[in-house]
């Protein structure tokens, strides 16, 4: 029952009965309701890339440490390094605005499939199809946004066979309340990332603020904590294998209906390219990050994110091979082909062959995209010139009055562009990433602009450009010269790259559109061929529910479990057991060691006496779910989901029944860290704690 990322409004139809059997005591109405407050009102999309949950009647949010990482890094300086040392607002007035963050509440959702599909057919070109969907989307937005009060998003599901719309309310005044030091919040670093057993306090605490009427508002000192429609009580009862657990959150992307042809392209071509290019970018960053503190902070977030996917992609390649994922898919496809031979299913016949031909046609182009993506993501000189260039151009074209009016906007764009910018690092990054692209990408599909560059000398080109650094751009703003801008060597490269990309996507647009159509038809056929099976849509950053139980993994002989024999949890003995003083990944604050030695676990200890740290459940999550609440059968918070295990990284393509687990921080360890380690008792006091007779006093 653990496979599946279900849409909330469908749980009644699909799983109500199943979930009750597994131990859920809530009705579907208590989980998702349009009219009454329900569980969904306590779940937020955090910044559009993670999930968070409301845990108090004052808008307190729990999410992951790695979700708050960018905000905490941005607020840190070498003198006040919150990332390294942690941050705790001991009073409410110490909570400060975390720039650029927002949280999104789901107001309601609805099915728009009939409405949109009525206007579509398979004879349309990709462009025609898009025009219809865009027009319907506009209409749906106009009908539901209440003049901008709500953000309305229409998304397609099941490879474009179905459509749902989502009505959201966004809050923008989000304040940092508490973050553990990285030694706790990222304990184990990249070595332990994607691994179990795990010992990480991967959580951060924020708070939503609203205006006096409880409405969203820009940051203002006069805003007050939001009184939410619902918040999650926190359970101190403890957990054991088999206990019901569900996770609500915003999973980002899965590819569960990817064909064997797609998987072969992925593991043989695309991901190896991704892995190689991101590793090179990491090495360049690391070289400069190790040299000074400011660079370390400026690049911490980018590095962590590149490293996270680097390990994920390599792990996916390994897991797909080890788990025989391709053979499994081939079996399903053989059955499908058989089924499609029946006269009634003739429209599905041949669709898989067309898909297999498609991958041959685009194989090299897809490899190019992987090298290119890492190049643009990491070699910021190019993206910077293409972002700031047009702004400077329109500025330079104004008369005096126009320039004066535009200046604040230009200066803000420049400030943002150079915020985390180390010119030496970026120069080397440009040379390295372009050099790699040139040596790996097939000429037929490569960007001619990039192929023509002298990769050894590129940094010097950048340094001689208007965009070399903040000072050179600032000088240009004081003394704008259109001709000089048009002749700028870096801007020319950036513009050339943009043109090349457009030409390439035009060249492939017909076959890409045709592929999208075949993918849609294939999945429609697959669903039709298995009428008894319950299908769930791929993740697409919409709210989903996954249910299952607390669960364990088989013991591996090559791992140290620090005395735990029932492999569903880890405890503080393991945390302290892994401690390496002064290590980049396995250091710990002395206070943690001291508290452990004194066994000062308070009410957060397990009834069996140990201090729980992380645990496993068999829920079905992926990236984007980070920070999601793990909820028991009564609607109480028992943990915060933060990772998956390397044995099952093929899981975004096929759910691995035996191996695929979610790694969660035990909420009791979260509270222990807040209370015993940080002394921020006031935060514990605003939670609604749920105890059992066994909970230690």
Q: Under the rule (CB under 6 A), what is the footprint of ligand ARG?
A: 66, 186, 189-190, 193-194, 304, 308, 623, 626, 643
Smaller CB distance to ligand ARG: residue 274 or 601?
274
Smaller CB distance to ligand ARG: residue 549 or 628?
628
Cα distance between residue 307 and residue 314, in whole Å: 11
Q: How far is the CB of 115 from ligand ARG (least distance, A)?
A: 35
**Cα dihedral 518, 520, 524, 527 sign:** positive
Q: How far is the CB of 649 from ligand ARG (least distance, A)?
A: 10
Q: How far is the CB of 132 from ligand ARG (least distance, A)?
A: 36
Q: Which positions ≥6 away from 478 have C-beta within 8 Å?
A: none
Which two structure tokens, joined as six digits, stand for 145? 């946004």
Orientation angle between helical segments 489-529 and 126-144, nearest 10 degrees:
90
Cα distance between residue 661 and residue 648, in whole Å: 8
Smaller CB distance to ligand ARG: residue 311 or 365?
311
Q: How far is the CB of 622 from ligand ARG (least distance, A)?
A: 8
Q: How many CB atoms lie within 10 A of CB 554?
A: 8
Smaller CB distance to ligand ARG: residue 652 or 675?
652
Cα distance between residue 539 and residue 519, in whole Å: 16
Smaller CB distance to ligand ARG: residue 308 or 567?
308
Q: How far is the CB of 76 from ligand ARG (least distance, A)?
A: 17
**Alpha-helix runs per DSSP H in 145-240:** 182-185, 189-192
**Catalytic residue positions, numbered:** 66, 202, 626
Q: How far is the CB of 70 from ligand ARG (least distance, A)?
A: 12
Q: Which positions ≥6 away from 641 have C-beta within 8 Å?
A: 247, 249, 619, 621, 625, 626, 627, 628, 629, 630, 662, 663, 664
Count how many Cα atoms sit within 13 Å of the Cα of residue 43 in the half-sphere of its side chain. Answer: 33
Which two structure tokens, joined as six digits, stand for 313? 């992609």
Cα distance between residue 635 and residue 85, in whole Å: 33
Smaller CB distance to ligand ARG: residue 13 or 253?
253
Smaller CB distance to ligand ARG: residue 450 or 553?
553
Q: How far is the CB of 336 from ligand ARG (least distance, A)?
A: 32
Q: How far is the CB of 642 from ligand ARG (least distance, A)?
A: 6
DSSP character at residue 468: S
The CA radius of gyration of the chain, in Å to the nearest whole number, is 26
DSSP character at residue 267: I
Smaller CB distance to ligand ARG: residue 190 or 512?
190
Smaller CB distance to ligand ARG: residue 159 or 312?
312
Which pairs from 447-456 meet CB under 8 Å and 24+ separation?
447/368, 447/372, 447/496, 447/497, 447/500, 447/501, 447/504, 448/496, 448/500, 449/493, 449/496, 449/497, 449/499, 449/500, 450/375, 450/497, 450/500, 453/493, 455/431, 456/431
Cα distance between residue 156 and residue 146, in whole Å: 23
Q: How far is the CB of 454 from ligand ARG (least distance, A)?
A: 36
SS3 category, 313: helix
């Amino acid at each position: 029952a653990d496979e599946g990322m279900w849409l909330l409004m469908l749980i009644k139809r699909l799983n109500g009965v199943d979930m009750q059997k597994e131990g859920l005591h809530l009705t579907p109405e208590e989980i998702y309701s349009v009219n009454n407050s329900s569980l969904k009102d306590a779940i937020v999309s955090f910044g559009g890339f993670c999930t968070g949950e409301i845990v108090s009647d004052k808008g307190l949010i729990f999410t992951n440490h790695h979700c708050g990482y960018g905000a905490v890094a941005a607020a840190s300086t070498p003198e006040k390094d919150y990332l390294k040392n942690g941050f705790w607002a001991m009073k409410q007035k110490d909570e400060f605005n975390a720039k650029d963050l927002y949280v999104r509440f789901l107001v309601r959702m609805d099915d728009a499939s009939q409405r949109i599909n009525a206007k579509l057919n398979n004879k349309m070109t990709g462009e025609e199809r898009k025009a219809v969907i865009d027009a319907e989307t506009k209409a749906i937005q106009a009908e539901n946004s209440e003049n901008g009060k709500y953000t309305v998003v229409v998304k397609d599901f099941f490879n474009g066979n179905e459509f749902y719309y989502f009505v959201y309310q966004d809050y923008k005044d989000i304040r940092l309340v508490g973050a553990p030091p990285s030694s706790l919040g990222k304990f184990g670093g990249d070595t332990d990332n994607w691994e179990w057993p795990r010992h990480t306090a991967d959580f951060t605490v924020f708070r939503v603020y609203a205006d006096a009427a409880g409405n969203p508002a820009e940051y203002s000192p006069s805003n007050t904590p939001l009184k939410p429609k619902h918040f999650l009580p926190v359970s101190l009862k403890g957990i054991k294998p088999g206990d019901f657990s569900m996770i609500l959150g915003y999973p980002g992307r899965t590819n569960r209906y990817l064909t064997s042809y797609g998987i072969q392209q992925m593991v043989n071509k695309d991901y190896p390219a991704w892995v190689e290019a991101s590793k090179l970018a990491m090495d360049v960053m690391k070289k400069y990050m190790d040299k000074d503190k400011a660079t370390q902070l400026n690049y911490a977030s980018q590095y962590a994110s590149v490293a996270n996917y680097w390990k994920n992609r390599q792990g996916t390649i390994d897991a797909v091979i080890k788990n025989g994922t391709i053979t499994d898919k081939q079996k399903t496809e053989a059955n499908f082909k058989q089924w499609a031979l029946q006269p009634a299913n003739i429209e599905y016949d041949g669709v898989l062959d067309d898909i297999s031909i498609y991958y041959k046609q685009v194989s090299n182009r897809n490899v190019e995209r992987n090298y290119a993506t890492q190049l643009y993501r990491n070699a910021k000189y190019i993206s910077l010139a293409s972002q700031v260039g047009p702004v400077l151009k329109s500025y330079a074209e104004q008369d005096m009055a126009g320039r004066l009016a535009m200046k604040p906007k230009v200066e803000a764009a420049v400030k943002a562009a150079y915020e985390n910018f180390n010119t030496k690092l970026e120069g080397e990054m440009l040379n390295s990433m372009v050099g790699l692209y040139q040596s790996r990408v097939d000429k037929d599909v490569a960007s001619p602009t990039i192929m023509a560059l002298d990769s050894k000398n590129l940094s010097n080109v950048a340094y001689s450009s208007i965009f070399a650094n903040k000072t050179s751009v600032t000088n240009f703003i004081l003394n704008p010269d259109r001709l000089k801008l048009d002749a700028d060597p870096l801007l020319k490269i950036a513009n050339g790259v943009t043109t090349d990309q457009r030409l390439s996507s035009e060249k492939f647009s017909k076959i890409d559109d045709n592929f999208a159509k075949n993918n849609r038809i294939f999945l429609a056929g697959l669903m039709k061929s298995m009428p008894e099976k319950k299908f769930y849509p791929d993740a697409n950053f919409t709210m989903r529910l996954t249910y299952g139980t607390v669960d364990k993994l088989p013991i591996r002989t090559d791992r140290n479990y620090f005395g735990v024999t029932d492999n569903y949890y880890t405890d503080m003995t393991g945390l302290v057991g892994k401690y390496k003083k002064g290590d980049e990944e396995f250091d710990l604050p002395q206070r943690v060691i001291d508290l452990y030695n004194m066994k000062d676990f308070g009410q957060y200890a397990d009834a069996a006496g140990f201090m729980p740290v992380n645990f496993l459940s068999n829920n079905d999550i992926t990236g984007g779910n980070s920070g999601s609440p793990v909820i028991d059968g009564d609607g109480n918070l028992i943990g915060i989901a933060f990772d998956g295990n390397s044995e099952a990284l093929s899981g975004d393509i096929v759910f691995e029944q035996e191996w695929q687990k979610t790694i969660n921080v035990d909420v009791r360890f979260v509270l222990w860290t807040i209370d015993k380690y940080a002394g921020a008792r006031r935060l514990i006091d605003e939670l609604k704690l749920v105890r059992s007779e066994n909970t230690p006093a």
